[in-house]
Amino acid sequence: MGRAAKPITDAAIRHLKRPRSGRPVRLYDGRGLFFVRGVHKDTWRLRLREGRKERWLTLGEYPAMSLKEARKAAEVARTAAARGENPGAAVTFEEATLRWIDHAGRDWAHKTRRDALAWFRADVFPFIGGKRMDDVRAPDVLALLRRIEAAGNLYKVRRLHSYIRRVFAFAISHGDATRNPAADLNPRDLFAKERRTHRPAFTTRKEAGMLMRLIREYPQPVTRGALMMLAWTLSRPGEVRMMRWADIDHERAQWRYIVSKTKTPHAVPLPRQAMALLDELEPLTGGGPLVFAGQRPGRPLSDNTQPIPNLRFHRRIAQIEPHLQQQHLEKDSGGCDGRPVCE
């Protein structure tokens, strides 16, 4: 039997104080339905008894689901349980998606989580968000993906298909669905192949040598050093910008740091040219924590510093200091002072 309680009112919900930390607070509506106010969000939950076992369902979030809607959803779940059906099937696709994002998105970057929610709200929820999980069929999923394909965003089609498939897998594992209609869809057979645009790259010794000469002629020493370090270590520009003096192991000639994207330790061997560069930069930036410090104290070079994005190896040569490029192409007949590749 559900807990006997005085029915909840909208006023009681509005006046219920949010806990600053620790255990959430609850309001009981009766027959197993209760309202949970946590530190960051509010939810409706339902407790059902199946023989000697208890089953707990999350019906939705408040205020997206009102008190009236929560009571209706609870009644649907009770009816399904009484018929021997899976009461979790009363969970809508939108509710299951938000639950999945709360769980799976804990380790996502903020932008990834924000974009995923925006995609679901714009392209998925208006069509299947209100449907119960087991009412969503493969043609429903295909229809909404076709709309996105018609808009020309094939990358989004495949990404959303993957997300929807994972939502159903998550719901099945929690007893909120019995099948995964997205798993029946094979993107390779159903959608056009995404055309990838390959970026022009430096493919000859002459081009690589020209690039290094252009870098050496750049007048600002800290920016020039950052560009040289990019070439010598082939590290991500963002990691090079944030290089710290404390991360340099002079004895082993290594750069040791925690990768910002994966949060894992990483060691980069430093060639003798890089070690010599660090010796040159120490009088300029050694008084602070960052090797490639910007003009503001304690701040790195700006990621908008023009040469950095324009001098990555995968960019076309036409983007690199055009006036210097033309000058070098005119006077260079091959090699670098007789050497196959310039340092």
Which of 40-49, 202-211, 305-314 is the least confident region?
Answer: 305-314
Which of 49-53, 71-75, 102-106, 328-332 is the least confident region?
Answer: 328-332
Mean pLDDT for the chain?
81
Q: Within a 10 A sphere around the Cβ of 250, how many other Cβ atoms?
A: 10
154, pLDDT greater than 60:
yes
> 227 near 308, Cβ under 8 Å?
yes
C-alpha 135/C-alpha 178 separation (Å) is 10
* Superfamily for the 95-190 domain: Tyrosine recombinase, N-terminal domain (1.10.150.130)
- Average pLDDT value for residue range 238-249: 92
Tens digit of pLDDT for each residue in 59-83? 777 887 889 888 988 888 888 778 7
Helix axes 93-104, 110-119, angle to 10 degrees: 170
CATH of domain 10-86: 3.30.160.390
- pTM exceeding the 0.85 threshold for the entire prediction: no
- Average pLDDT value for residue range 43-49: 85
Q: Which pLDDT belongs to residue 149? A: 93
- Average pLDDT value for residue range 37-65: 80
Tens digit of pLDDT for each residue in 294-317? 887 778 887 666 454 444 433 433
Model confidence at 324, pLDDT cuts 50, 70, 90, reads very low
C-alpha 263/C-alpha 255 separation (Å) is 16
332, pLDDT greater than 60:
no
Q: Which pLDDT belongs to residue 262? A: 76
The reply to whether domains 10-86 and 95-190 share a CATH topology is no
Q: Taking the C-alpha atoms of 158, 163, 164 and 168 in order, what is their torsion angle to the nearest 10 degrees?
A: 140
**DSSP state, residue 340:** S
Task: Give residue limits of the domains in the chain.
Answer: 10-86, 95-190, 205-331
For residues 120 and 317, the model is more confident at 120
> 117 near 162, Cβ under 8 Å?
no
- Average pLDDT value for residue range 257-273: 88
Model confidence at 86, pLDDT cuts 50, 70, 90, reads low
For residues 53 and 33, the model is more confident at 33
What share of the chain in percent tops pLDDT 70?
A: 83
Model confidence at 177, pLDDT cuts 50, 70, 90, reads confident
- Average pLDDT value for residue range 155-170: 94
Q: Which pLDDT belongs to residue 307? A: 52
In sequence order, the 6+-apart residues with CB closer than 8 A to the CB of 136 are: 93, 128, 168, 181
- Short-list 124, 227, 135, 225, CA closest to 177: 135
Q: Residue written as tokens 């007949």?
A: 333
235, pLDDT greater than 90:
no
Separate counts of helices (H) and strands (E) for the chain: 13, 7
| 224-229 own/partner pairs: CB under 8 Å, 24+ apart | 225/277, 225/280, 225/281, 225/291, 225/292, 226/292, 226/301, 226/308, 227/307, 227/308, 227/311, 228/273, 228/274, 228/277, 229/274, 229/277, 229/292
Strand partners, 255: 248, 268
Tell me: cis bond preceding 219? Omega within 30 of 0 counts. no
Q: Which pLDDT belongs to residue 171? A: 87
Highest mean pLDDT (candidates 191-195, 250-254, 320-324): 250-254
- Average pLDDT value for residue range 222-245: 90
Q: In what order do the strands lie in the sheet with 265-269?
A: 248-249, 254-258, 265-269
